[in-house]
Amino acid sequence: MASRASRSGWGSNRSATSRSGSGSIPSATPDEILRALADPSRLAVAGALSRGPRTASAIAQETGLRLDSVRRHLSRLAKVGMVEVEADRRTYRLLPKTPRRAAEEAGPPRDPGLALGTVDEEEESVLRQYFRGGRLAEIPVRRSKRLSVLQRLALEFDVGVRYPERQVNRILERFHPDYAALRRYLVDDGFLSRERGEYWRSGGRVDL
């Protein structure tokens, strides 16, 4: 069966143009865009750019990645319209609307209790065990199970978007009253990064 993205013709007739005027960004399907973000290192590069325009060298310093790896990741992100190069040809800027639009086109909105993003039956079983009626019944004590829950919660945060702490709390409170614990776990386990009261996605998978 054809995917929603292919039925909608999202990538076949769309042409994106760089705001910097540097040229046309090749069109990409929602699946191609979201898969480009499925690599953890590439997601870290996008996370660095969510804090503002950066050169490849600055991103390498912030993320601890090799400069040549950063450049490869930037090239991949640029091919799917996630980043653009500014006029100086050295500075990269994130285009956060691209993954958000791709996620909307790739499938239906996420239901809070739905076991999306699972990679195997075991992980899906964990989510079904702990989610009840769209709420998190309890925060797992065992770390392996808690990571499955955190992975699911991380999908609520769009790549490239910075969230004030109050908004993070509101999102997490929809699932469990102890939003502070969930927020702390998401940061400690590398799903979210934090700086000066703002949070952004820096790890985990991207919902395909």
In a domain, 83, yes or no: yes
Q: What are phi and psi of 159, to 5 degrees?
A: -65, 135
Sheet holding 54-55, edge to edge: 54-55, 91-94, 83-85
158 plus 193 within the same structural domain: yes
In a domain, 120, yes or no: yes
- CA-to-CA distance for 193 and 170, rounded, in angstroms? 17
- pLDDT higher at 159 or 27: 159
129 plus 60 within the same structural domain: no
- CA-to-CA distance for 74 and 180, rounded, in angstroms? 34
Does residue 179 surpass a pLDDT of 70?
yes
Give the pLDDT mean for 64-76.
92
| DSSP-assigned beta bridge partners for residue 201 | 192
- pLDDT higher at 167 or 134: 167
- CA-to-CA distance for 23 and 106, rounded, in angstroms? 26
What's the pLDDT score for residue 119?
52
pTM, to two decimals: 0.55
Q: Last residue of some domain: 80, 105, 130? A: 105
In a domain, 33, yes or no: yes
What's the pLDDT score for residue 205?
64
In a domain, 206, yes or no: no
Q: Last residue of some domain: 105, 127, 143? A: 105
Give the pLDDT mean for 105-134.
64
In percent, the amount of the chain with pLDDT more than 90 equals: 42
Q: Last residue of some domain: 84, 105, 126? A: 105
What's the pLDDT score for residue 53?
93
59 plus 97 within the same structural domain: yes
Q: What is the CATH number of the domain that holds 87?
A: 1.10.10.10
99 plus 158 within the same structural domain: no
